[in-house]
Structure 1
């Protein structure tokens, strides 16, 4: 990793950035193509990534891991985007839905782990845990000894 004398500013090549984030260089080029990144260029036209670029890449990576599309990430990174709040509120609602589904899945897995039924599909209590998918209602998962 290279840094200039100016307050620890990074000055990384595309290969160094890719290695730092364990990604392929073509991903960084693609993110540049869609406008998420704007690295400086040296005299030979090679990309040079500074500290702000590295933080921006980290935001993109974390946002992608949270399920955001590149279009949503572009809005997140653009404080002037007219629909920024709408996009971010929609993403929050989506995260809340995903977290709820994960909690249900975790509870189902815990029940399956402790259930006395050898074939979980025959457990009447386990069937209740998926009944919301069948009839649209929300049913809490029974305790592990109910099956």
Structure 2
């Protein structure tokens, strides 16, 4: 084995990952290791970079399909479009989370003995009921 090649165990160990994670990423089309004549995986330095990119993408909330899109497209504009789309989705989730936090904050600070009896809460609840 060349010094610039890594077995699945060596690459997984370098990142503190179980080997089945790398195998899963291969099945998902994120990694394409070379194979020895005996069928063993051999990863190169470029695969080390891909693993780092995959982990970074996961930390940023990307799904494996989105990460695959970024890794497999040859079009830099498509990669940037994927970032924009993810940014927009993340912004929407943050807005929804902030609205949820505000609603919880109101319920916690409510002066009613039971927030279920709070006029503000009851009004918001009524708005959620579809007309019948």
Identify whether the pair has TM-score above 0.5, normalized to the shorter chain: yes
Unmatched 5+ stretches in structure 1: 136-147
Equivalent residue number for residue 70 of structure 1: 64
**Aligned pair partner of 1:89 in 80, 84, 94:** 84
Equivalent residue number for residue 28 of structure 1: 22
The structure with the greater share of residues assigned to helix is 2
Question: Which TM-score applies when normalising by structure 1?
Answer: 0.58
Unmatched 5+ stretches in structure 2: none
Equivalent residue number for residue 47 of structure 2: 53
Using CA pairs below 8 Å that are at least 6 residues apart, which structure has the higher relative contact order? Answer: 2
User: What is the root-mean-square deviation in Å for CA atoms of aligned residues?
Assistant: 3.5
Question: Which TM-score applies when normalising by structure 2?
Answer: 0.63
**Aligned pair partner of 1:100 in 92, 95, 102:** 95
Count of paired positions: 125
